[in-house]
Structure 1
């Protein structure tokens, strides 16, 4: 009986720690746009480039030419991209993270 109780407590403790690792950022907590960009975007957009379509970089001029000028436009492109780009739905990249990524892109790639 004692071993069963210890095992149960141990499993509950582990599950509590594991669950917190999968939670979205806490309310009021700032999201690191650069870290999120590195996590979700940098493999295909290293240094703001584009490995699958070099003509569509993340530079401000190129994005504007393709109708992407604001945070809202970038998030829309993340949610419903064109051919060759991975789709990032709100479950994969929550809105708070998407906004941080968009802000990072706008500030970083001029």
Structure 2
């Protein structure tokens, strides 16, 4: 019994250590996206912001649609498939949709 409790504790500790080293979606956004999209805006094209109504209007109001743009880019936005891994792309895309739903508050 003691051995299984020790192994479970060791496993949880290792998982927590790995998780704590992960970068949050907010951090990925701040590092890679905020220079153009701070607060859900768009300095390159103010008509195509990350606000919910704009995402809806432009047909990118789903996580999958945002993932496609983050992954492959869409001029003038560069592709991030070489600099972000799949988990980061997934999490930052979900973050964009979540923040759009909150009005970027």
Structure 1 length normalisation: TM-score?
0.68
Deviation digits for residues 50-91 of structure 1, max 9, x if unmatched? 0000000001111111111211111101122222112111x3
Three-state SS of the structure 2 residue aligned to 1:56 is: coil
Deviation digits for residues 20-58 of structure 1, max 9, x if unmatched? xxxxxx58x754110100011000101110000000000
| Whole-Å separation in 1 of the counterparts to 2:68 and 2:61 | 11
Rg bigger for which structure?
1
Asked whether the 8 Å contact 1:60–1:109 carries over to 2, the reply is yes
| Whole-Å separation in 1 of the counterparts to 2:74 and 2:22 | 29
Structure 2 length normalisation: TM-score?
0.71
Q: How many residues align?
A: 84
For residue 96 of structure 1, the aligned residue among 76, 87, 103 is: 87
Computed over aligned residues only, the root mean square deviation of the Cα atoms, in angstroms, reads: 1.9
> Structure 1: any 5+ residue segments left out of the alignment?
1-25
> Structure 2: any 5+ residue segments left out of the alignment?
1-17
Map of 2:100 onto structure 1: 109
Deviation beyond 3 Å, 4+ runs, structure 1: none
For residue 80 of structure 1, the aligned residue among 72, 92, 96 is: 72
